[in-house]
């Protein structure tokens, strides 16, 4: 059975003695998992001195397990220091040699991708790489509704019939054993570049997957985009060994990093180790806006500043995904590989429109699914498992994520098809491996198809198995029942309004990119009074506040989705002069050539 991997928050000390905030949370000090807590202050001070940082920022770095000796590499992650030898990935050399052979002999190559951001970016990475080598691969993205996830026999056969001698599956294929076994491979080789957990490798020419049971590369945190990028490095090396570049230009691998960063962020991979360097450097490439499709999508999304992890995860990613969710599966890939500015803008506008349609569909499903999920939760079910014939299969994963965030339970949402089959997607909570649970359920005969990783998984089964599957998952993920319904807030520092300066915000930004595995640090503004509170935005769902500290210093603060937040009534009652502690994020804001520090509120507690 799965165990909660994260150190129980109950072992961390209370921050500011907040046992219950206005949203019902405990505030706890974030503590290190790898360093002795007693040495934390010493490490934090050493880091602050070495990097010329405030003590509060030194502590933020220390709790991330960064030693004083490694702080320079953490603040300035470089690929040259972190890129592994591609050979550490099982079967990578075999795959690279085969791809190099196909390049040299000008074989007909096909790329079989997935319809999400990681699949689209991985396909685009290989497409650009082969284009730079003067090859034009066929790219096949399956239709989500008609074909489903992963390789299928008719699609593979159609590629073989077109004379393809090498098929490279990206972000899929790890669990496609039956499909590959039924596909003729006497004249066509198949290579898989994937990262999803699987029981055994499929019987193909080469399966490259850091999450294969027999791969000890230690790179299991890579997405398919990362694996594909390392494959490009390996192929370049193989071609170099055969003196291929004496007569041919060498591809510029650095220009692929914007796609690697986008796929890593949108697939919610941990932004640690190699991923931190890939994303940091990739965001620099993205910031140049040289990839025509992404430049158009940034414009349509209204991203005017330098793109960051937030822009990728909440502006670019949902729009690229929208095509695969409810429309044409290859729209995102077309945008990523587009070279015509006019066409790119048309594709970006189209994806933006489809994304708005997706949001409308999602809202209706979310309300219905949330009500049903709360019923299961109130009955004590550790895992939420739901399906409905009216729910669109393209948005069930998003809905699962939203419900998981609300009740902090592993959540699996499915769409019932006309033949009684359920196709669904699940999201897990920290410390519970949903991918392993899905594989175990498949081994137990409860699922027809299934796979994924720790935090997300896809699956299919017949609705007659619903009760047995739910019971199995409740037992396998029983530790979920121990997780609190309201997640504790982990605080990383306390300061005053006067201390919430632009310089502090800039120093915190040096810890970017923020995301999974490197959360943006939550800090507390202590002993503040609310001078003013206004509703702003087109739907009046954002609170804008003026905060004042004990010494008279003031700062602007914002809180989004005010209508859904339990602390809103307390923030709007600013005539109540009782001082508060506010937890949130400190960020820089540039306006009319001036830099300010703004505070974004997450929670509140009375002093």
- As a whole-number percent, the residues of the chain with pLDDT over 70 amount to 98
Q: Does position 130 have pLDDT exceeding 70, yes or no?
A: yes
Q: What is the pLDDT of residues 353-362, one digit of tens each?
A: 999 999 999 9
Lowest-confidence region among 69-78, 194-203, 432-441: 194-203
Using pLDDT thresholds of 50, 70 and 90, give the confidence band for residue 32. confident
Contact predicate 277/81, CB 8 Å: yes
Tokens of 332: 């995102």
CB neighbour list of residue 197: distance below 8 Å, 6 or more residues apart: 174, 211, 435, 436, 439, 451, 452, 453
Position 560 scores a pLDDT of 96
**Who has greater pLDDT, 4 or 398?**
398
Write down the pTM of the prediction: 0.91
Q: What is the mean pLDDT of residues 278-302?
A: 98
Q: Cβ(446)–Cβ(476) under 8 Å?
A: no
Tens digits of per-residue pLDDT, 232-263?
999 999 999 999 999 999 999 999 999 999 99
Please report the pLDDT score of residue 199 as a whole number: 76
Instruction: Please give the average per-residue pLDDT across 461-476, as a whole number.
Output: 98
pLDDT at 486: 85
Taking 80 as the threshold, does the pLDDT of residue 577 lie above it? no
Angle, nearest 10°, between helix axes 224-241 and 92-104? 60
pLDDT at 8 over 70: no
pLDDT at position 7 over 70: no
Cα dist. 19→28, 481, 579, 606 in Å? 9, 21, 17, 11
* pLDDT, average across residues 545-560: 96
Res. 551: pLDDT tops 70: yes
pLDDT at 197 over 90: no
Q: What is the DSSP string of 213-259?
A: TT--SS-TT--HHHHHHHHHHHHHHHHHHTTGGGSSPPP-GGGGHHH
Q: What is the pLDDT of residue 5?
A: 32
Q: What is the pLDDT of residue 35?
A: 59
Rounded Cα distance between 34 and 64, Å, is 8
Residues 412-424: tens digit of each pLDDT: 999 999 899 999 9
Mean pLDDT of 300-328: 95
Q: Average pLDDT, whole number, for the chain?
A: 94
Percent of the chain with pLDDT over 90: 88
Mean pLDDT score, 570-584: 89
Confidence at residue 299, expressed as pLDDT on a 0 to 100 scale: 98
Tokens of 604: 């509140």
pLDDT digits (tens, 9 = 90+) for 159-175: 999 999 999 999 999 99
Q: Give me the pLDDT at residue 332, please.
A: 97
Per-residue pLDDT averaged across 348-371, rounded? Answer: 96
Position 149 pLDDT exceeds 70? yes
What Rg do the C-alpha atoms of the chain give, in angstroms? Answer: 25
In total, the chain counts a number of residues equal to 607
Q: Classify strands 580-591 and 523-536 as parallel, antiparallel or unpaired.
A: antiparallel
- The residues that bridge with 515 in the sheet, in sequence order, are 518
**Segment 47-69 mean pLDDT:** 95
Tens digit of pLDDT for each residue in 324-340?
999 899 999 999 999 99
pLDDT at 34: 65
CA distance 309 to 519: 11
Dihedral pair phi/psi, residue 15, rounded to 5°? -95, 125
Is pLDDT above 80 for 4? no
**603: β partners:** 583
Give the pLDDT confidence score for residue 298 in this predicted structure: 98
Burial class (CB in 10 A: 0-12, 13-18, 19+), 417: middle
């Amino acid at each position: 059975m799965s165990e909660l991997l994260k150190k129980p928050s109950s072992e961390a000390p209370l921050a500011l003695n907040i046992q219950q905030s206005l949203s019902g949370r405990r505030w706890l000090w974030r503590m290190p998992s790898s360093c002795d807590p007693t040495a934390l202050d010493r490490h934090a001070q050493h880091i602050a001195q070495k990097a010329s940082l405030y003590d509060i920022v030194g502590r933020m770095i220390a709790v991330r397990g960064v030693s004083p000796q490694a702080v320079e590499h953490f603040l300035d992650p470089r690929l040259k220091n972190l890129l592994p030898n591609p050979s550490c990935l099982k079967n990578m050399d075999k795959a690279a040699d085969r791809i190099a052979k196909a390049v040299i002999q000008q074989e007909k190559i096909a790329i079989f991708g997935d319809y999400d951001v990681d699949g689209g970016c991985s396909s685009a990475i290989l497409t650009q790489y082969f284009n730079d080598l003067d090859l034009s691969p066929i790219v096949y993205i399956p239709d989500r509704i008609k074909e489903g996830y992963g390789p299928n026999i008719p699609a593979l056969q159609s590629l073989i019939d077109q004379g393809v001698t090498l098929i490279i599956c990206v972000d899929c294929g790890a669990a496609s054993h039956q499909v590959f076994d039924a596909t003729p491979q006497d004249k066509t080789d198949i290579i898989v570049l994937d990262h999803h957990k699987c029981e055994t490798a499929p019987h193909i020419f080469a399966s490259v997957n850091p999450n294969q049971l027999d791969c000890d590369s230690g790179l299991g945190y890579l997405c398919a985009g990362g694996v594909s990028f390392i494959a490009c490095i390996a192929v370049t090396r193989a071609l170099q060994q055969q003196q291929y570049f004496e007569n041919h230009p060498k591809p510029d691998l650095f220009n692929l990093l914007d796609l690697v960063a986008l796929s890593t962020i949108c697939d919610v991979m941990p932004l640690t180790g190699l991923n931190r360097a890939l994303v940091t450097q990739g965001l620099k490439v993205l910031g140049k806006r040289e990839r025509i499709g992404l430049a158009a999508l940034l414009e349509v999304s209204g991203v005017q500043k330098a793109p960051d992890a937030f822009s990728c995860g909440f502006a670019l990613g949902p729009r690229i995904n929208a095509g695969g969710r409810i429309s044409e599966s290859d729209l995102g890939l077309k945008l990523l590989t587009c070279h015509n500015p006019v066409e790119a803008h048309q594709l970006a506008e189209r994806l933006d429109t489809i994304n708005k349609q997706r949001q409308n569909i999602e809202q209706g499903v979310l309300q219905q699914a949330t009500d049903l999920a709360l019923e299961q939760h109130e009955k004590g079910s550790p895992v939420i498992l739901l399906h409905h014939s009216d729910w669109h299969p393209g948005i069930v994963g998003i809905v699962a994520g939203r419900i998981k965030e609300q009740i902090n339970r592993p959540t699996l949402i499915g769409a019932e098809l006309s033949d009684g089959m359920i196709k669904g997607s699940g999201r897990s909570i920290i410390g519970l491996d949903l991918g392993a649970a899905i594989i175990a359920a498949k081994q137990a005969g409860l699922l027809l198809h299934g796979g994924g990783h720790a935090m997300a998984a896809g699956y299919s089964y017949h609705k007659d198995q619903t009760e047995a599957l739910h019971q199995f998952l409740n037992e396998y993920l029983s530790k979920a029942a121990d997780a609190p319904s309201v997640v504790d807030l982990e605080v990383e520092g306390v300061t005053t309004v006067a201390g919430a300066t632009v310089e502090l915000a800039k120093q915190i930004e040096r810890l970017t990119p923020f995301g999974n595995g490197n959360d943006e640090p939550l800090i507390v503004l202590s002993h503040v009074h609310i001078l003013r509170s206004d509703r702003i935005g087109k739907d009046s769902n954002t609170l804008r506040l003026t905060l004042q500290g004990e010494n008279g210093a003031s700062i602007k603060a914002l809180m989004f989705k005010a209508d859904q937040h339990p602390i809103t009534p307390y923030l709007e009652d600013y005539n109540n002069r009782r001082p508060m502690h506010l937890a949130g994020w400190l960020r820089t804001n540039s306006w009319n050539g001036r830099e300010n520090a703004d505070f974004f509120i997450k929670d509140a507690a009375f002093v």
